[in-house]
Amino acid sequence: MKHSSSSSLCLLFLLALCSMACDLVQAQVLFQGFNWESWKTRGGWYNCLRVQVDDIAKAGVTHVWLPPPSHSVSPQGYMPGRLYDLDASKYGTAAELKALVEAFHERNIQCVADIVINHRCADKKDARGVYCVFEGGTPDGRLDWGPGMICSDDTQYSDGTGHRDTGEGFAAAPDVDHLNARVQRELSEWLNWLKSDVGFDGWRLDFAKGYSAAVARAYVESTSPSFVVAEIWNSLSYNGDGKPANNQDQCRQELVNWARAVGGPAMAFDFTTKGLLQAGVQGELWRLRDGAGKAAGMIGWMPEKAVTFVDNHDTGSTQKLWPFPSDKVMQGYAYILTHPGVPCIFYDHMFDWNLKQEIETLSAIRARNGIHAGSKLRILVADADAYVAVVDEKVMVKIGTRYDLGNVLVPSDFHPASHGKDYCVWEKGSLRVPAGRHL
């Protein structure tokens, strides 16, 4: 009898641990730890960010996305050359990067490296006078390549002996031939070195449209990252009047197809949701519900593989290539931090825009109620000036300018948990609002 009781207790303990592990895997929050100008920071960006680790942890962040770590022709890191040369980064030294990664790990935050492998900048010219001779950044021959490692259809740089590009071209630098066995092997070795020597846990794949999903899958399988998210940038489909089309299925299907083809932990930034959300908060919130009553972005079809965001270093920051309306940013966070998908918080919004407290409050609501990438969404209202939804029957969120929503009722066991300009969030709990109270 005693043995049976002990076995039962052990079984219950193991089940509890498994449940906790599942929750930790599901309840992910990504934080982009830089912007387009971070490389200019006095004293080094890595050192600056290290001071803010505790604040980032308090916001419920589980993963931090760090900038490209290697030598680069452009100071932001997106024109990489000597991949093993981390001391040449404008963000700081290799030692400072390792110290930053260690500081995040001490707060149980995993570190995601920005991986730029679609293209690469050469150090030297060949006999033709073309920059196509690459240096790896080590005393040996690792990543020391010639023009044969460039895609054959990148005629500006290639000698014509490589394979054709498997994705979209990149005009500003040589396109790497990822079908070359040596290229795949040496890039995989470099990625695994970033894990073992620096301490990175996962990858953000820059310009992932530049190579096929099969190529991305090969790198994921050869490096076993715990977290992968790809930049598959599509900026919606538009009507003749310049407004987004009512149906964005083609855009989100591209994201779904990529995630399915790569498999494993691979996710994609939900550009469809970003575009529809920033159009929605400008008086078109009906866009957030599709014809089937689901969320209209990738999170409506494959939320477990969607990383939602308001802005990043490209769309916002000083580039502003596709910016979210600046006076409505908190409506965006009220949406992504209460909804399915893995939300990504942008550095600028949390630290430069003085939105830290509001973002922390929303993130705490998400954590407290166990909202995760696969949470169940029930949309109650999606009109021009109002959007209301319930998530996991625990959290209710409203965004939009309209205050009176008529017959939409706040359940009697829900209480206000966060509010700001044109948004409010309620959660189920012991504090009560008057029974049958209208929004």
Known catalytic residues are 206, 231
Answer yes or no: are the C-beta atoms of 177 and 139 closer than 8 Å: no
**Which pairing describes strands 63-66 and 306-309: parallel, antiparallel, or unpaired?**
unpaired
Instruction: Of 404, 215, 422, give the one whose Cα is nearest residue 332.
Output: 422
Residue type, 136: G
Instruction: Please tell me the distance from the alpha carbon of residue 3 to that of residue 22, in angstroms, as a whole number.
Output: 29
**Which pairing describes strands 131-133 and 124-125: parallel, antiparallel, or unpaired?**
antiparallel
Instruction: Please tell me the distance from the alpha carbon of residue 78 to that of residue 64, in angstroms, as a whole number.
Output: 18
Q: Enumerate residues 6+ apart whose C-beta is below 8 A from 391.
A: 338, 339, 340, 369, 371, 375, 376, 377, 378, 397
Answer yes or no: are the C-beta atoms of 147 and 236 closer than 8 Å: no
> What DSSP assignment string belongs to 328-388?
GHHHHHHHHTTSSSEEEEEHIIIIISS-HHHHHHHHHHHHHTT--TT--EEEEEE-SS-EE
Q: Which residues pair with 346 in a beta bridge?
A: 32
CA 128 to chain centre: 41
Residue type, 258: W
Q: Enumerate residues 6+ apart whose C-beta is below 8 A from 240.
A: none
Instruction: Of 222, 234, 125, give the one whose Cα is nearest residue 178.
Output: 222
Instruction: Please tell me the distance from the alpha carbon of residue 70 to that of residue 93, in angstroms, as a whole number.
Output: 10
